[in-house]
Structure 1
């Protein structure tokens, strides 16, 4: 399904013939091919034809929630993009869709422009994910072929692996009108804190290379939301928050310690010490340590950097805001550690200035 010279295929699943006609007309006008299915059972037999599934929720025999749960249990389809189309507007229904394994949801009646944006974003995300997985597969084969006598070549391969991950991370930051320097500053703040916590060199190095992947999920967020100069609506904010889950999905690879820790950071760096963060509402030490470290470093750099919706704050103003979040937003011990080493933080900030 990865041939670059063919049109991508959307599998449209709906038990209403009129909906199939309308959605297939939209999809065709966007330049995609499509396949049609009027039941969940038939759709499960057609997955090998699909690059993305556009799935109705309310269907007889097997509803959309059950269909997506079954898709996620099939080897090789855990990362297939599934967008659920529903007339249900209750937040509980949307959470049920995400819990079942849906990549996204869209409300009926479907708006053509919104549908195109969602399809384009998730198919673009799938291409990035496939690139990472292909690179990971190639890396594993290469390492398997090498012996201890090729340590130098293996070291060069690992360096190339890290550079690829860093460039993918930069791609997400550039989409957000940030710079590669944001990644450098933020990752080095994280490494500084890891070092001051007494972590060994290998773990400090792991934090340094995994933390740049914290916002890689922004690749899957529409530009109309990501670059919006004003406040987001509640619906837009719900979509924006999914970048944590999207990022974790991109980086889900237990065979790479860098990807695995990047996944943990992507999923947890917006959790808050008092449990009011997202996406899982974790609190205190239930939040992974790397995520808590990243939260401090990322917020400081965000506050002191320009964004589409704000001018940069001074260091003094940023630190004042962060002190107000001690014990609520931030792990109090980690925030204290950051403040105790603020001269080193400022040195990193000056070295990697935009």
Structure 2
């Protein structure tokens, strides 16, 4: 039997829909409770609180909206996720549903795979909330009247789980522990798989040049004990096992003071170790039982948060590699190497960063935009998979008919990503990738293709990519031309200011020209044609 993924209360007056949901969700390991109307749903939710409620809006005796409002008003069910089902799809109906307190909203006929994903996401969110709530309840019983500490712990828990990136999470953790434990020096060690050693990845009160030099072996006795025991421990400089920790760099970091080590674990997996020392108001190595309790709690919550961020980063890394591989597959048909994609990707990021630093498009060029541009830029020419080889690989100038077909690669790529984007129900970098595919051959003066857009009609991401792609095309060998020199390529782009290229982007490019040349040389293709010649830029 499949494991229980959660209990779903399903309320619908239509037997066929209710039974369909029950059968489908049970196949995915959910336990189900059924109700035929709103009153019955409320009674069942009172007798046994489920993990989530899936309820039809239009039902006899009591509507789904009324049930939702009642559940959110009750203390015992106020945090219970509620998903409304309805055949209505007008915007005002969605607003009414969300105003009633619903957490999500699906329309009939139901798309069952989507329903499963929405329910599982909400259940995971509730389970995380319950876990934090349970931890806090335990801390209330243990620490009693120490309300300030409890407030700090709860705030820390929320901040860590809200952190978008691992380095942000670790910064929150070290700063908070330094304040809560009154320690001048706090650090987090994590395992570096590439060198098979434990290194400091975040620290406070330890000079950066010192922190980067501290490195413990994979089989360090101290960390082996941490992994086996899973309990905080105080290590004294006189401890025979502390040789690595108090080596030359360790002595500078910890000043030969006793150090509290706290393991960061998840399901018996040692993810990292917190170090704390140099207390401001007590003996350096003195930690009271309540301190140990607080540190143990923080480590448990931090372990969960760190594992979640590591998984998210692994998923994102896998996505990036897959995206790059697919883009590389498209590029491989016209004999370009993966370094072309890396160069364009890097040029785009540097242009975006410099535009922001120079005061241009600051509202648009937030870190998330630049990150998405980095991910999306390699996909600019995926539409080339739809262009025939005799045109794509032609060594000479294209005929007007061939050029017209070649120009369709922008539409093919844009439409492909537009179709992929339509399958998602959330914002995605695919929206930017779609814009880049469609518009990176448009020109500032409107003479480009496929739509003849001009000026700021062209999305910013596509205007940046256009400059990066043309520079790389000019300085790279292609079937129809050898590589141009860097100086010749810069001159051509400068001539295109205000006609081909956005003047602002062109100006920033010119300030980065030497850096672009350095990037080009670092990421050059092994078979690049180094001969620089004067010839007509035919594409």
* Structure 1, unaligned runs of 5 or more: 1-136
Query: 1:214 is matched with which residue: 380, 388, 401?
Result: 380
Query: 2:456 is matched with which residue: 264, 273, 285?
Result: 285
Q: Deviations over 1:151-185 (max 9, x none)?
A: 32222112211211111111111111111000000
Give yes or no for the alignment of 1:191 onto 2:349: yes
- In 1, the alpha carbon distance for the partners of 2:372 and 2:317 equals 13
Partner of 2:468: 297
Give yes or no for the alignment of 1:319 onto 2:319: no
Structure number with the higher helix fraction is 1
Q: Deviations over 1:313-336 (max 9, x none)?
A: 001111111111111101111001
Q: CA deviation at 1:143?
A: 8.9
Secondary structure at 1:257 match in 2? coil
Q: Deviations over 1:173-215 (max 9, x none)?
A: 1111111000000111000011112133222111111111000
Q: CA deviation at 1:141?
A: 8.3
Q: Deviations over 1:56-81 (max 9, x none)?
A: xxxxxxxxxxxxxxxxxxxxxxxxxx
Q: CA deviation at 1:146?
A: 5.9
Partner of 2:414: 248
Give yes or no for the alignment of 1:235 onto 2:401: yes
Write out aligned runs for 1:6-17 (5 A). Answer: none
Structure number with the higher strand fraction is 2
Secondary structure at 1:295 match in 2? helix
Query: Judging changes above 3 Å, is the alpha-carbon distance between structure 1 residues 317 and 151 closer, same or farther for their aligned structure 2 residues?
Result: same
Write out aligned runs for 1:73-92 (5 A). Answer: none
Q: CA deviation at 1:339?
A: 0.5
Q: Which has the higher contact order (CA 8 A, sep 6+)?
A: 1
Partner of 1:159: 317
Secondary structure at 2:314 match in 1? helix
Partner of 2:262: none
Partner of 1:4: none
Secondary structure at 1:197 match in 2? helix
User: What is the CA RMSD across the aligned residues, in angstroms?
Assistant: 2.0
Query: Judging changes above 3 Å, is the alpha-carbon distance between structure 1 residues 311 and 142 closer, same or farther for their aligned structure 2 residues?
Result: farther
Secondary structure at 2:375 match in 1? helix
Secondary structure at 2:520 match in 1? helix
Partner of 1:109: none
Query: 2:445 is matched with which residue: 268, 271, 274?
Result: 274
Using the size of structure 2 for normalisation, the TM-score is: 0.39
Give yes or no for the alignment of 1:349 onto 2:532: no
Indicate if the aligned counterparts of 1:217 and 1:244 stay in contact, CA closer than 8 A: yes
- In 1, the alpha carbon distance for the partners of 2:483 and 2:124 equals 48
Using the size of structure 1 for normalisation, the TM-score is: 0.58
- In 1, the alpha carbon distance for the partners of 2:484 and 2:119 equals 46
* Structure 2, unaligned runs of 5 or more: 1-113, 129-303, 357-364, 526-539
Secondary structure at 1:345 match in 2? helix
Indicate if the aligned counterparts of 1:146 and 1:154 stay in contact, CA closer than 8 A: no
Query: Judging changes above 3 Å, is the alpha-carbon distance between structure 1 residues 156 and 306 closer, same or farther for their aligned structure 2 residues?
Result: same
Secondary structure at 2:429 match in 1? helix
Indicate if the aligned counterparts of 2:490 and 2:513 stay in contact, CA closer than 8 A: no
- In 2, the alpha carbon distance for the partners of 1:143 and 1:227 equals 48
Partner of 2:96: none
Q: CA deviation at 1:341?
A: 1.4
Indicate if the aligned counterparts of 2:376 and 2:433 stay in contact, CA closer than 8 A: yes
Indicate if the aligned counterparts of 1:242 and 1:279 stay in contact, CA closer than 8 A: yes
- Bigger-Rg structure (1/2): 2
Partner of 1:306: 477
- In 2, the alpha carbon distance for the partners of 1:142 and 1:179 equals 43
Indicate if the aligned counterparts of 1:143 and 1:154 stay in contact, CA closer than 8 A: no
Q: CA deviation at 1:286?
A: 0.8
Work out the number of aligned pairs and report it: 216
Secondary structure at 1:243 match in 2? helix
- In 2, the alpha carbon distance for the partners of 1:146 and 1:163 equals 27
Partner of 1:106: none
